[in-house]
Amino acid sequence: MKIVVTGTRGIPNILGGVETHCEELFPRIAAHGYDITIVRRTYYVKDNLKEYKGVKLVDISAPNTKSIEAIFHTFKAAWAAKFRLKADVLHIQNIGPALMAPFARLLGLKVVLIIHSLNYKHEKWGKFAKFMLKLGEKWGCRFANEVIVISEIIKNNVMKATNRKDVHLIYNGVPEPNFIQDTHYLDQLGVEPQKYFFAMGRFVPEKNFHQLIEAFSQLDNRNGYKLVLAGDTDFEDKYSRNLKQMALEHKVILTGFIKGEKLHELLTHAFAFVLPSLHEGLPIALLEAMSYHLPAIVSDIPANLAIKLQQNSYFQTGSVEQLREKMRELIDKKPKKQNYPLDDYQWNNVALQTIKVYEKLNMK
């Protein structure tokens, strides 16, 4: 079976939760003997790789425009999958690209759709874009041979919105932690081990980092604790520019987009992890922080509540005051590292469950 993956910017080392998902998952599926090709968007590619850990890489251009990039690229990827790559299956990532599911089926491809997030709930999209995303959800669930979701919350929403009942629930995974004892990168940033709150993600409104910075700035006595924010934006806009300016004014340390040892070093030595998001599917960033045993402060959105942290880890979504007080409590109490149950979030199991979905296609 030859599988082409589209709807992602690409792998490896490209910003985004979907991209992290693909980078972890598809090499594991390829290791089981499946022929996997990921179609990358040329604009985001900074290497000349043709293969990564057994996954073939094909680069196809698309307009670098937020509203049409994913859909246009998926159209070209579906065409290439059929006529250039001779694929059997098109595996589409998320509901925007799912607008091309009917087109892929017309080409004779079998389609697997995975829904990572209910994107039409995100603040960055206007009314027309949200309409198109809902249409992508509807068409994707109608025309895909198989549909996967990454959380119970998304599953319930999708089944209610589209009336599709045969939806596969397969969680995101978390990689094995790589504890870095050296502090060279921390020294470069000017932070001390166990003396900083850490957050990471894309600089978009739904991540709510502006309220995190506001809450941190209101701490009257930080006792030397700092805030480190790792990430960036795909499309520089008013929100991301204002966020960076706000961080600069309040002496928040911005690392930019990082992966690998720099990220692992920050996770190893952080005092606590903060995720103030307004919307999530199943947050890989939180799972990764949990694998490093970090105390966590997270918003009480359904996706975060589903992970079932201790109740005192949650604050009311959007409440700067509660977030500030949670940070103050941690500074005062200095909690120990925590052990979290992560058996449900193992990438090897995610790969095996996804392979079962592929095998089901052969029976149709």
Q: What is the DSSP string of 220-243?
A: S--TT-EEEEE---SS--HHHHHH
Which of 62-66, 125-129, 228-232, 267-271 comes out lowest in average pLDDT? 125-129
339, part of any domain:
no
Average pLDDT over residues 255-279: 95
The reported pLDDT for the residue numbered 106 is: 97
Tokens of 281: 């599917």
**Residues belonging to the chain:** 364
The reported pLDDT for the residue numbered 76 is: 97
Total tally of structural domains belonging to the chain: 2
Residue pLDDT, tens place only, 174-203: 989 999 999 999 999 999 999 999 999 999
Residue pLDDT, tens place only, 100-146: 999 999 999 999 999 998 766 766 667 877 888 888 899 999 999 99
Average pLDDT over residues 280-285: 88
Residue pLDDT, tens place only, 147-175: 999 999 899 988 988 989 899 999 999 98
Share of the chain above pLDDT 70, in %: 98
Which of 63-72, 283-292, 331-340 comes out lowest in average pLDDT? 63-72
In the predicted structure, residue 249 carries a pLDDT above the cut 80: yes
**pLDDT, averaged across the chain:** 93
Average pLDDT over residues 262-270: 97
The reported pLDDT for the residue numbered 234 is: 79
DSSP characters for 335-362? PPP-----TT-BHHHHHHHHHHHHHHHH
Q: Note whether 99 and 189 are same-domain residues.
A: no
178, part of any domain:
no
Q: Note whether 138 and 252 are same-domain residues.
A: no
Share of the chain above pLDDT 90, in %: 79
Residue 9 pLDDT level (bands cut at 50, 70, 90): very high
Q: Note whether 222 and 143 are same-domain residues.
A: no
Q: Note whether 96 and 134 are same-domain residues.
A: yes
231, part of any domain:
yes
Other CB atoms within 10 Å distance of the CB of residue 36: 26
179, part of any domain:
no
Q: Note whether 216 and 320 are same-domain residues.
A: yes
Q: Note whether 64 and 36 are same-domain residues.
A: yes
Q: Note whether 127 and 201 are same-domain residues.
A: no
The reported pLDDT for the residue numbered 187 is: 97
Q: Please, are residues 65 and 90 in contact by the beta-carbon 8 Å criterion? A: no
Q: Note whether 50 and 143 are same-domain residues.
A: yes
Residue pLDDT, tens place only, 18-72: 999 999 999 999 999 999 999 999 999 999 999 999 999 999 998 887 778 989 9
Give exposure, 241-271, as e/b (b: 16+ Cβ within 10 Å). eebbeebeeeebbbbebbeeebbbbbbbbbb
The reported pLDDT for the residue numbered 356 is: 97
The reported pLDDT for the residue numbered 364 is: 63
Range of the domain at 289: 184-333
The reported pLDDT for the residue numbered 126 is: 76
